[in-house]
Amino acid sequence: MENKEMKRNNVNAKATPWAEERFGLFKLDDATLLKESQKQLGMAKSYIDELKDTISKQQLLIQQLQKGENKDLRKEIKKDDLYQQILNENKALREKNKQLKAAYDIALSRLYQAEKNANCA
The model's pLDDT over 55-110, given as tens digits with 9 standing for 90+, comes to 998 998 888 877 777 777 777 777 788 888 999 999 999 999 999 999 999 999 99
Give the number of domains in the chain: 2
Pair 22, 52 in one domain: yes
- pLDDT at position 65 is 77
Q: Rounded CA gap, 22 and 72, in Å?
A: 63
pTM flag (> 0.85): no
Pair 58, 21 in one domain: yes
**What domain range includes position 85?**
80-121
The dihedral sign for the CA sequence 62, 68, 70, 72: positive
Pair 10, 39 in one domain: yes
Pair 52, 97 in one domain: no
Pair 26, 55 in one domain: yes
Pair 36, 14 in one domain: yes
Pair 56, 99 in one domain: no
What percent of the chain shows pLDDT beyond 70? 78
Segment 23-48 shows an average pLDDT of 86
Which is more confident, 69 or 112? 112
Pair 8, 62 in one domain: yes
Write down which residue in 32, 51, 71 finishes a domain: 71
Pair 66, 88 in one domain: no
Pair 3, 51 in one domain: yes
The full DSSP string for 6-49 is HHHHHHHHHHSSEEEEETTEEEEPHHHHHHHHHHHHHHHHHHHH
